[in-house]
Structure 1
Amino acid sequence: MWEDFKKFALKGNVLDLAVAVIIGAAFGKIVTSLVEDIIMPGVGILLGGFSVEDLTYTFNGAELRYGAFMQSVIDFFIIAFSIFMVIRLFTRLKRQKDVPAEEEPEVLDKKEELLIEIRDLLSKEKTGQ
């Protein structure tokens, strides 16, 4: 059983996934900090000190903090958009790297064009057209 686990754990896909999860978690922390420490305070300043996170509703003595939920939803969309933009950038860079440079069309001079016409006419005569 240990050997099977080692084979599974050391496969390339599993290691790639582990690295992706670690990098994703670190990137998530960076974007979360961007949202919480820079974007949302800026939005609060623009709205005159209003903070979405402070919105609450009290019902029969129970406080519902729906503002915190709305803040989490906003954070999610900003994080998702940021990840989308990074993936789009990497995809575009990879696509540019993978596409071979287009060859320039061959430019013929007048003599070459004339020779091609003569060749085509001779081949038509041989075939009886």
Structure 2
Amino acid sequence: MLKEFKEFAMRGNAVDMAVGIVIGAAFGAIVKSLVDDVIMPPIGLLLGNVDFSNLFVVLRDGATTGPYASLAEAKRAGAVTINYGVFFNSVISFLIVAFSIFLLVRSINKLRREAPSAAPATKECPYCLSAVALKATRCPQCTSELKL
């Protein structure tokens, strides 16, 4: 059984999938940092010093009653919250990842496309069916007159 598992794990597809998952997880962490640390602070600044990670609605107060200055403070108090700012950051992260994957798939598809076939250099004689140059006015095989 161990030998069969080793054969399965060392197949090309399983190894490729494992590498893809590891790289995907690392890419997700990079995108999360990009959104949380680079993209959202300037947007929050433009919207009047809004920190999106601290946007929440309190459904029920915790051990100490609100208002809470931050999401971390609300969680420490045990308050039940809807964290729509964190959700907004996650949506932005997802859109960046999805767009990046779209660009990757698009570039792979471009590489896979076949080059357009070249224009034909010959035509077929309607009388003897031999190949004739496109600009020829007579067939070299049967000497029939051809229309351009």
TM-score by length of 2: 0.65
Higher strand share: 2
- Give the corresponding residue for 1:41: 41
Listed one character per residue, the Cα deviations across residues 83-116 of structure 1 (whole Å, up to 9, x for unaligned) are 222222222222222222223324633xx1x226
- Structure 2: tracts of 5 or more residues without a match: 63-77, 122-133
Given that 1:56 and 1:63 are in contact with CA atoms closer than 8 Å, whether structure 2 keeps it comes out as: no
- Structure 1: tracts of 5 or more residues without a match: 121-129
Map 1:1-129 to 2 at 5 A. Answer: 1-54=1-54, 55-57=56-58, 59-61=60-62, 63-66=79-82, 69-106=83-120, 108-109=134-135, 112=136, 114-115=137-138, 118=145
The SS at the match of 1:104 is coil
Aligned-pair identity (%): 31
TM-score by length of 1: 0.73
Given that 2:61 and 2:80 are in contact with CA atoms closer than 8 Å, whether structure 1 keeps it comes out as: no
Pairs aligned (count): 115
Q: What CA distance in whole angstroms lies between the structure 1 residues aligned with 2:57 and 2:114?
A: 57
Higher helix share: 1
CA shift, 1:56, in A, is: 4.0
